[in-house]
Structure 1
């Protein structure tokens, strides 16, 4: 806000009304950059962010898998499934496996890897949430989160600046979103949704049945924007991991369509 006001005032003094408009636009971009959201990211910075994101995801996946005392065959299969979904080349796949093993080692430090991540990605709030969403989603791939896995992810959330209450809300939302995986956007129109489906749909968007249609649409648009593939690539998220965000947008879309359909019915 201050950047917009200052730049607008300077622009008016320098070039009249046109200068004020131009100045306010520049100031607005400056303000957004300070907010850690939309400052343009250079190609070199994108590469650094992409590497930090990749390293953090796979090493923490190994640590979460080991949190309950042992790395199960199911958890190994989940990691391999992620690598397959990402279409990693042999070199990247080998690196992902090494990071997973490193994360499951006795000397691995969550604090150290998160400090490195925050140095590179800490200014971008959306990427921080994407990291946590990604880890929670993958951690829940076997149906739920073990209490020790939650403890690791809660520590990660703390490093990212998310409160314990917000972390719990993310878990609730992601669990509800997973109920719409593979449903397809057309499935919402096939039959009248059950009460359980509606409850999941509201939770998937982080809202409740008491919210107005306008509030629900706002929450829906925010989630779709946060998970937009082009935006995430521009912010430095590895292109290999964009398929996870694409899957998330599909789940969110199905949940929203279901709510809209139910509210239109008499």
Structure 2
């Protein structure tokens, strides 16, 4: 890959002469290297590695989180079973997911190497890390509350994924609020849901103007768009979970829009 060097060199020569030629070739070299890395990262082989790592890490950390308080509750088991069911896994994949969950809940499970391996594979892509963390938050909220020990584990994981305590707290508030827009009958504001819950679900203050509201909504919908997540390496089987979040966000946004009409 040398197109960047050629173009950079020619432009540099035209603008600054011989010195510009050298500078242009150097800048072009950096561009070529960056392009090569991008193409390599987006290759089918690498995306397949990311998908495998995302799947493994999700269920390993789910098991670790579920065992955080010393025991795995029936609600946590049901939530994990629900996730597996929603993913539509075949018998072999289901067995693999359960085995990973059990490995994560074992006494000798090591958190740091697991997250470090995931970060290395996905190169710390923010969207992948955030999607993973939201999945784990969903598991922690299976009983509609987060115990202190679960919060501590989520904080450790969030830190390893390069999220600050403040960012984790906002994600927790958003996830809890989004849960108000998903019930047994479908998506929409559930009984007792307030307008403040809708704003919290979008991660914004209630006094934002319409432009900021729409911008926040579009950003969240873009972050959870199936095609974008698949392209980044989220397994197709897990896209359904992100789609659910999109529908909750949509319902919260509609509630706010209706209140402003």
Return 171-180 or 208-217, whichever deviates more.
Answer: 208-217
Equivalent in the alignment of 1:142: 143
Q: Partners in 2 of 1:64 and 1:151 — Cα distance?
A: 10
Q: Shift of residue 150 of structure 1?
A: 1.1
Is residue 68–residue 153 contact of structure 2 (8 Å, CA) maintained in 1? yes
Secondary structure of 1:141's aligned partner: helix
Equivalent in the alignment of 2:234: 237
Match of 2:199 among 190, 199, 202: 202
Q: Shift of residue 196 of structure 1?
A: 4.8
Equivalent in the alignment of 1:262: 259
Equivalent in the alignment of 2:102: 101
User: Structure 1 residues 220, 60: CA separation in 2 closer, same or farther (over 3 Å shift)?
Assistant: same
Equivalent in the alignment of 2:117: 116
User: Structure 1 residues 140, 239: CA separation in 2 closer, same or farther (over 3 Å shift)?
Assistant: same
Equivalent in the alignment of 1:61: 62
Q: Partners in 2 of 1:83 and 1:104 — Cα distance?
A: 17
Q: Partners in 2 of 1:63 and 1:86 — Cα distance?
A: 20
TM-score by length of 1: 0.81
**Per-residue CA distance 1:202-228 (angstroms, 9 max, x = gap):** 000000111111111111111000000
**Structure 2 unpaired stretches of 5+:** 15-27
**Structure 1 unpaired stretches of 5+:** 1-5, 17-26
Quote the RMSD (CA, aligned, Å).
2.9
Q: Shift of residue 132 of structure 1?
A: 0.5
Larger radius of gyration: 2
User: Structure 1 residues 40, 49: CA separation in 2 closer, same or farther (over 3 Å shift)?
Assistant: closer
Secondary structure of 1:251's aligned partner: helix
Secondary structure of 2:131's aligned partner: helix
Q: Shift of residue 195 of structure 1?
A: 9.0
